[in-house]
Every structure is written in structure tokens, then in C-alpha cells.
Amino acid sequence: MAGLMGSAVFWVFTIIYMAGVFFLGYLGYKRTKASEDFMLAGRKIHPWVIGISYGATFISTSAIIGFGGTAAVYGTGLIWLAFLNIAVGVLLAFIVFGKPTRALGKKLRAATFPDLLGKRFNSSFMQYSAAILILLIMPMYAAAVMIGGSRFMEAALGIDYTLALTVFVIFTSAYVIFGGLKAVMYTDAMQGVIMVMGMAILLLLTFSLLGGPTQAFNDLAALPSEMPSEMIDGLVSKGFTGWLSMPEVGSEFWLVLITTIIMGVGLGVLAQPQLVVRFMTADDNKALNRAIPLGGLFILITTGVAYTVGPLTNLYFWNTQGKTSLAAMPNANSDLIIPTFINEAMPELFVVVFMLVLLSAAMSTLSAILHTMGTTAGFDLWRHFQRWRTGSKKLSSPSLRANRVGTLFMLIVSFGFALLMDESIIMRATAMFMGLCAAAFMPAFVHALFSKRISTKAAKASLVVGALAWFGWTAFVHIKESSVLGISQFLFGRPALLGMPWQVVDPLIIALPLSILALVVVWYADGESRLAKTKDAEPA
């Protein structure tokens, strides 16, 4: 809608939104006096802010644009992901993981996720390796978030994509670099409220457009029977059974839906560094308990609406163009489905509102990611590099300047990725990031929180095996990535070493069990070794 920038409504809403972000960012800046304020918001954030910030960080344009478009292809089976997002991402995360994480972080005075692992296992290797993995994979996730917000700005405002990307990135990074985690969480709270209101309105308008909930779902259920055989046969051959049912068990669609989308994202949330840090900002366990209802409600509304509206867009595009949502998009780009639906089907006022919803979703997640990358670079790596360079035996004190420079540097790297990454990447990049976090970090993280007899060797083995297995399967088997990377093609003359169905089995399904196995085996062997040494030391 190229004329949107000429609308008075657009400018009123946008100015109010920008003023709110700048005010909260400035508030965070004024209250950031020391490095701990920048990294952990002083460990005294209000429970409501924690709950909304956690949800807003978790749910970004990936869920609304990327996974909403994916739901248009795979159907309402993605509702299972919403269930996991709440059951695992909120309830399990806060109740089981959040409290011991907060307690352990406070006891060890840990400032970042790599710092927590390093101090718990008394291992520089754990801190360095976790930091390096974060800085290797997180810029791609950050780029996916940037792309989602910028693509909608491009479509809604009729401006060049690169300009939209540049404005979006500069606007977001300003308050992150200067205000740290306090500014991030303050703005998250405002942006989260906008997201919930906007997504609720989207669901109501969609049902109104399609004749109400009952009529809409009945028509969507009947849609495949109305489509010519040449349009539906290709979907059926991949396991498609309808937009209101799960794909055929064991089919290509089923494997992608279950292993990559539902399992990869649903489980990967537990070991995401930018979310783990949220637990460490709480003053006590009561604060975490009080944050749960808001976090759960937030994710229920945002993901539930996205995964419901996505499939229903097929009905709209069939009624208006005689095509499914994916077929109606240029280059069959699923990332364009939700933006196109909003721009074509919704009133101008809501287009403005939804642009702010997407900006809020993108900015809240991007700011958290930038903050995590910046503190990882400035705190976990730069201080250690400085000690090595100067030959000092002691680490320098945490530096606000180092964290801010680290944030700026990783912002530039992520911006470069956003310019280079191909289309329809949002869902894939999100699943890749969460999958690697789960495979490399989750077993060691669980071991750190709940084991009375910890084994540093087991934690190291788990992290290394999980990361290598994930990268190996990604580069040589999972066709979506291996064909793009070209490593398998270069070395072996084919895009993937294994055929179907292995090509669509997500790396997480292979790497996470191997990571757990490595931890258990080495933990047991390390325990036996310690026991033997103890017996040898006993007097005869």
C-alpha cells in the first residue's frame, strides 16, 4: 500500500509509537549505571515486565510472518507448536528451569549464559565454546528477524527494502547500545501489549472477512475438493491431507512439520541464551511465579492467532485469485503470505496497526538478540582476549564500553547477513538457531542445574558432540541447508549424502540424542574414574 506514508493516521500512530520507544529507551539509559545494569538490568526487574519481555523476545516476526506463512502451507497442525510454546516455553521453562537458573546465576554472579556455564563447570572452555557458537549462529537468526520486519515495511510503505532494513536496524539498535537490558525489557513491555492487541484484532477481522469462525473452517475443510487435481496432486504426494488435519504420518510434510517446526522450535526454547538471561533478572522466585500467567497468555494469543490465520489465508486467496496462498506469492515465497494478506484484505487503519505489531515483534526480539551477542562478545570473549594479549593473570572488570562496542559490531555482522540471505528464510533460520541451541547447550545446561555431582568432562563432550552432529547433519544431509551450503556437493558430488526421508529429518532429531548420550556416557565414565582413584588412594 504505497500511499500509506501519505496517511495522517500512519504518522499519528507512528509518532506515538516512536515517542514511546524513545522514552523507554532513554529511561533504560538513565538507569544503566554499571555493567551489571547493562547485562542483567540490576537483577530487580518487575514480574510483569519479565513475563511480557520473555514472551516478546520469544515471539518475533518469525512466529507471525515466518511461521504464519508456514502454517498456510502445512495447515493447523502448527497449533501443536503453540501448545509446546506454552507448555515447554513458559510453564516448564519458568517453573522447572527458571528458578534454579536464577538461584545459580545469583550465587555464581554470572552475567551471561556462557558465563553461567563457565563458572558452574569451572571451565574456560565451556564459556569460550558457548560464546563462539552463539556468535556463529545468532547473527543469522537476527538477520531473519530483520528481514521479517523490513519486508512488511517495504510492502506497506512502498519503500526500498534496503532503506526499510537500514531504518529499522538503526532505530532498534540505538536504545540497545545505550540502554542495555533495562531499555530492552522496558520497550519489550510496551511492544508486547501492542502485539497482543494487534493479533487479537487480526483474528476478529479475518473471521469477519470469511463469514465467521464456523463458516471459515467449514469452507477451508472443503477447499481441497474444489481444487483441480493438477493443483492438489503435488501436495498429496508429499503427505498433505488438508489444512485442518495433520499430514500423513511418515510423509515429507509430516517429517518437516514434526521434526523441524514443532520439535525444533518447541524444544529449542529451553536453552536459548537470550531467554535464559531473563530468569537471571528476577529478584526472587516469587517474581518468576508472577510472570508466568502474563507470559503464557501472551504466547497463547500471538502464536495461536498466527497459526490459525495462516491456513485461513488459503481461503482468501482462493476466493480472490483461484490459487492457494503459496501459489499466489512471487517465487512461492511463504514469507510474503501474511504481509500480502494484510495489505490486500485488511482496512488501511489495521495495516498501520499491524505494521506496528510487526515492528514491535521484530524490535523486541532483535533487541534481545543484539544485547545477547553484544554481551557475549564484550564480556565473554573480549575480556579474556585482553588478558591473553596483555599477559595479565586477572580479568579486567566488566566494561560498559566493551559491551556497547560488541553490540555494534554484531549488529553490523547481522545486517550483512540480512542483505545476503535468500527469500523464505525466516522459518528456516529460526528453526536452525533453536535446534543448535538445544543440541549443543541443553544437556549441559540441565546437568548444570540439576546434578549434584557434576562432570566438566561430560559437559564438554555433550557440547562438542551436539554441535558437531548438528553441523554435520546440516551440511551433509538436511537438504534445505546442505544444498545451499554446497559443501556436500563440492566434496562428494551430490547435495546430500542420504536420500529420502533422511533429507527432511531435522538435525536436532539426530544431534540432541547424541549430545545426551555423550553426556551420560562420559559422566558415568568420569564417575567410575573418580571412584577408582579414591579407592587407590585408600590405605591398605
Q: What is the pTM of this model?
A: 0.77
Residue type, 475: A
Which of 357, 389, 424 delimits the end of a domain?
424
| Shared-domain flag, residues 104 and 40 | yes
Q: How confident is the model at residue 537 (pLDDT cuts 50, 70, 90)?
A: very low
pLDDT at residue 533, as a whole number: 54
Q: Average the pLDDT over each of 182-191, 201-210, 471-480 and give the range with the smallest value.
A: 182-191
Q: State how far the alpha carbon of 500 is from the alpha carbons of 238, 333, 476, 504, 522, in Å.
A: 12, 23, 13, 7, 33
Is 313 domain-assigned?
A: yes
| In contact, 85 and 269? CB cutoff 8 Å | yes
| In contact, 72 and 436? CB cutoff 8 Å | no
Q: How far is C-alpha 280 from the chain's CA centre?
A: 19
| In contact, 312 and 346? CB cutoff 8 Å | no
pLDDT at residue 401, as a whole number: 72
- Highest average pLDDT, of 51-65, 192-206, 328-342, 401-415, comes from 192-206
| In contact, 193 and 52? CB cutoff 8 Å | yes
Q: What value does the mean pLDDT take over residues 151-157?
A: 69
| Shared-domain flag, residues 288 and 157 | yes
Q: How confident is the model at residue 467 (pLDDT cuts 50, 70, 90)?
A: very high
Is 437 domain-assigned?
A: no
Report whether pLDDT(73) > 60: yes
pLDDT at residue 364, as a whole number: 76
Report whether pLDDT(534) > 60: no
Distance CA 376, CA 39 (A): 10
Q: Indicate the average pLDDT of the chain.
A: 80
Which residue segment(s) compose the domain that 29 sits in? Answer: 2-320+328-424
Widest CA span in the chain: 91
As for how many domains the chain has, the answer is 2
| Shared-domain flag, residues 119 and 265 | yes
Express as a percent the part of the chain with pLDDT over 90. 13
Distance CA 172, CA 25 (A): 10
pLDDT at residue 2, as a whole number: 45
Is 441 domain-assigned?
A: no
What is the per-residue DSSP string for 270-308? Answer: GG-HHHHHHHTT-SSHHHHHHHHHHHHHHHHHHHHHHHH
What is the per-residue DSSP string for 165-187? Answer: HHHHHHHHHHHHHHHHHHHHHHH
| Shared-domain flag, residues 456 and 415 | no
Q: How confident is the model at residue 516 (pLDDT cuts 50, 70, 90)?
A: very high
| Shared-domain flag, residues 382 and 509 | no
Q: Average the pLDDT over each of 91-105, 127-141, 171-185 and give the range with the smallest value.
A: 171-185
Is 137 domain-assigned?
A: yes
| In contact, 423 and 330? CB cutoff 8 Å | no
| Shared-domain flag, residues 138 and 190 | yes
- CATH number for the domain spanning 118: value is 1.20.1730.10
Distance CA 58, CA 86 (A): 11
| Shared-domain flag, residues 455 and 345 | no
Separate counts of helices (H) and strands (E) for the chain: 25, 0
Beta carbons within 8 Å of 338's beta carbon, 6+ residues apart: 64, 65, 68, 69, 72, 306, 309, 310, 313
DSSP 347: -
Q: How confident is the model at residue 519 (pLDDT cuts 50, 70, 90)?
A: very high
Q: How confident is the model at residue 462 (pLDDT cuts 50, 70, 90)?
A: very high
Higher pLDDT, 519 or 191: 519
Distance CA 10, CA 354 (A): 11
Distance CA 230, CA 347 (A): 34
Residue 62 has which C-alpha cell? 518469525
- Highest average pLDDT, of 63-77, 85-99, 224-238, 468-482, comes from 468-482
Is 442 domain-assigned?
A: no
Beta carbons within 8 Å of 46's beta carbon, 6+ residues apart: 287
Is 435 domain-assigned?
A: no
DSSP 395: P
Q: What value does the mean pLDDT take over residues 348-367?
A: 79
Distance CA 342, CA 359 (A): 14
Residue type, 355: M
Residue 433 has which C-alpha cell? 538457531
Which of 381, 407, 424 delimits the end of a domain?
424
Q: How confident is the model at residue 141 (pLDDT cuts 50, 70, 90)?
A: confident
Is 256 domain-assigned?
A: yes
pLDDT of 315-339, one tens digit each? 999 989 888 888 888 877 777 888 8
| Shared-domain flag, residues 161 and 256 | yes
Report whether pLDDT(466) > 50: yes
pLDDT of 398-408, one tens digit each? 566 777 787 78
Which of 389, 424, 459 delimits the end of a domain?
424
pLDDT at residue 504, as a whole number: 81
pLDDT at residue 33, as a whole number: 66
Is 444 domain-assigned?
A: no
Q: Average the pLDDT over each of 120-124, 134-138, 536-540 and give the range with the smallest value.
A: 536-540
Beta carbons within 8 Å of 358's beta carbon, 6+ residues apart: 61, 64, 65, 148, 149, 152
| Shared-domain flag, residues 198 and 276 | yes
Q: Average the pLDDT over each of 155-164, 186-195, 288-297 and give the range with the smallest value.
A: 155-164
pLDDT at residue 85, as a whole number: 76
421 CB neighbour count, 10 Å cutoff:
18
| Shared-domain flag, residues 354 and 205 | yes
CB-neighbour burial class of residue 455 (10 A; exposed 0-12, middle 13-18, buried 19+): buried
pLDDT of 264-316, one tens digit each? 666 767 788 888 887 887 777 787 787 788 778 888 888 888 889 999 999 99
H-helix or E-strand spanning residue 225? helix 213-226
DSSP 346: S
| Shared-domain flag, residues 79 and 197 | yes
Q: How confident is the model at residue 40 (pLDDT cuts 50, 70, 90)?
A: low
Q: Average the pLDDT over each of 198-207, 213-222, 285-294, 318-327 and give the range with the smallest value.
A: 285-294
Q: How confident is the model at residue 469 (pLDDT cuts 50, 70, 90)?
A: very high
Q: How confident is the model at residue 155 (pLDDT cuts 50, 70, 90)?
A: low
| Shared-domain flag, residues 513 and 384 | no
Rg (C-alpha) for the chain, rounded Å, is 23
Q: How confident is the model at residue 501 (pLDDT cuts 50, 70, 90)?
A: confident
Bond before 443 cis per omega within 30 degrees: no
- Highest average pLDDT, of 7-11, 343-347, 483-487, comes from 343-347
